[in-house]
Amino acid sequence: MKCFRILALLMSFTLVSCSSLTNGGRDVASSAEQASLAGDLSGTQLGVVRYLKEKYYKKKYDGKRFKKTKRFRAMRVYFNKIEGEADSYHAILLEYTNLLRMAPTYVGSNKLPPIQSIFGFLKKIATSVTVYKVTPLAEAGKYEMQLLNARGGQLVATQSATPMVLHLSDAENLSHPLSGARISNFAKSKKGNEVDVFFPEIPQTETKEEEKKRKKEAKFGMQFNLANFVYKKVKLESTWRDNFLPGPYLRAYNDKKHQVLTLKADAGKLEADFVLEKGWRIWSGLRARRFTNKKSASIKGNFEVTKVAKGIFIFSSTDDKNEGVEHVEDRIGVFIDIFDARKSLDQDVVELIMVDSNNPTDFLMYYEHPDNGEGEGRNEEK
C-alpha cells in the first residue's frame, strides 16, 4: 500500500507539473456533474474491467494443471441522453492503458520534446473504445446495450441475440446512479477469456471509518485505484464534448512538429483535412508507429463531417483521390478530454477518437494542439 501511494503521488505531481495552460469553456455532452438527478445516467463514471482466464501450469502432485487468474484494468463509461427518446442514451466505454507505463512517456512529451522526438511522444492513453446505444428494458433497472456503428452516413444500432445488459444496483444512498452497477454478456477478450465490467458501490454518505473499511475490503486492482486517486488528487474530470472542435490536431500528444489533421467549421460546414507526411519510403514504417493507430499514416484528403447526434460525428470522403478512405468512413467520431483539467489547471486539450465499435482496439486517435484552446474561431454549430 505504501508503494502504491508513492507511485500515485508521483503521477499526480507529474500531471500538475506537465500541464499546458489554456483557457477553456466548451460545451460538454457528458461529465461527472450531470449525474445529479436520481435515475439519470447522464455523465461519466470510473469502473473496472476484470479479465478472467485459466493459466496453464506443469502438472503438480495434486494433478491440477490450470489455475484461474484475474487481471484488472480501469475503464470509464460516458452516458449522453438521446434527444426525443425517453430514458435512452448513447454511451462510450473506454478502457485505460496501463497508467504506470504511460507516465514516463507523458513526462517526456512535456518536459523533453527533443529527446522524446527520438523515442516517440505519448500516443496511447486508451486500449479500447466502443460506442453503444442504451435503451431501457421492461424490467426496472436494466438497460440493453447495442453496438453503435456508422453505415452510409447513418448511425446503426446492431441487434444481438445475446445483447449486453446494464444492471443498476438496488442499493439506496449511492453517490452515482451507476455505483454498484454491472454489465453482463460483455464480449470476450481476443484470447477468448471471460470479461466482467462493474462499478464500485460507493455510498453517498459514509463516515471515515466506513470508507476506510470499504476500501480495505474492496478488490478493484491497482489500475482502478491509481486512476481514482489521480483524478481526485489533481481534481481532474473526464468529459465527452458536445460540439465539433475545429483547429490543428497532432499525431501524438504534444508532438507539435507533426500536425496531421486540421478540422474546420465555416458557415455551418464541417470539414476534416488529413495530411500525409512527407519523407523517404524507408521511414514509412517508423512514421506509422508514431501514431496511435498505424492506419492513420496512410490517410490523406478532405472529408465532410456530419453531426448525426449530440457529440457524435461521421466522416465522408469528398474526393475520389483521397487516400485511406476505408480507414475513415464507417467510423464514429467523438471528442473526449480523457484527463480534463479545465477547472483544476485551466487546461483544455481534447482527443478526437474515431471508433469502429466492431473492433474496439482498432480506433484512431488525434491529439489537439496544446495552443489551440478554444479552437480557431468560435464554433456556433449546435
Residue type, 93: L
Domains, the chain? 2-240 (no CATH), 244-368 (2.40.128)
Cβ contacts of 149 within 8 Å, gap of 6 or more: 155, 156, 158, 330, 332, 356, 357, 358
The whole-model pTM stands at: 0.85
Q: Measured between alpha carbons, how far is 307 from 372 in angstroms, rounded to an integer?
A: 21
Specify whether the CB–CB gap between 293 and 261 falls below 8 A: no
Give the position of cell 445516467.
Answer: 41
* Angle separating helix axes 222-233 and 2-18, nearest 10 degrees: 50
pLDDT at 320: 92
Alpha carbon distances (Å) from 191 to 126, 197, 245: 19, 17, 37
Rg (CA), the chain: 21
pLDDT at 212: 76
Mean pLDDT in each 10-residue stretch from start to end of the chain (382 residues)? 47 48 54 57 94 66 62 94 93 94 76 66 92 95 95 89 93 89 86 85 83 76 90 91 95 89 93 82 70 93 96 95 94 95 79 95 95 50 38
pLDDT at 66: 59
Q: Is 110 left (phi over 0), alpha (psi -120 to 50) or beta?
A: alpha
